[in-house]
């Protein structure tokens, strides 16, 4: 499944450059994650990098975008 950023985001800018798939972008008010690009860092890292660096723990699994590891790997750049 891809990740999402909750409205607890403080726009600190640390997550965007950490994403190996360029799935994170600035939305209207907070950063957002494009579920079509997000692989939860599968194929790149052991843990999602946005969640690792987020100071407020607002990068969570998106229950509306559940995917298998194979599906996540298929989205790699």
- What CATH number should be reported for the domain holding residue 9? 3.30.70.20
Domain range for residue 65?
A: 3-74
**Number of domains, the chain:** 1
pLDDT in tens, 7-47: 999 999 999 999 999 999 999 999 999 999 999 999 999 99
Secondary structure of the chain as H, E, C letters:
CCEEECCCCCCCCCCHHHCCCCCEEECCCCEEECCCCCCCCCCCCCCCHHHHHCCCCCEEECCCCCCCHHHHHHCCC
Confidence class of residue 1 from pLDDT cuts 50, 70 and 90? Answer: confident
**pTM, entire model:** 0.90
């Amino acid at each position: 499944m891809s990740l999402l950023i909750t409205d607890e985001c403080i726009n600190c800018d640390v997550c965007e450059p950490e994403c190996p798939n360029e799935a994170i972008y600035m939305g209207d008010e907070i950063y957002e994650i494009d579920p079509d690009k997000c692989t939860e860092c599968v194929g790149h890292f052991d843990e999602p990098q946005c969640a690792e660096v987020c100071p407020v723990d607002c990068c969570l699994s998106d229950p509306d975008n559940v995917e298998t590891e194979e599906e996540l790997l298929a989205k790699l750049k």
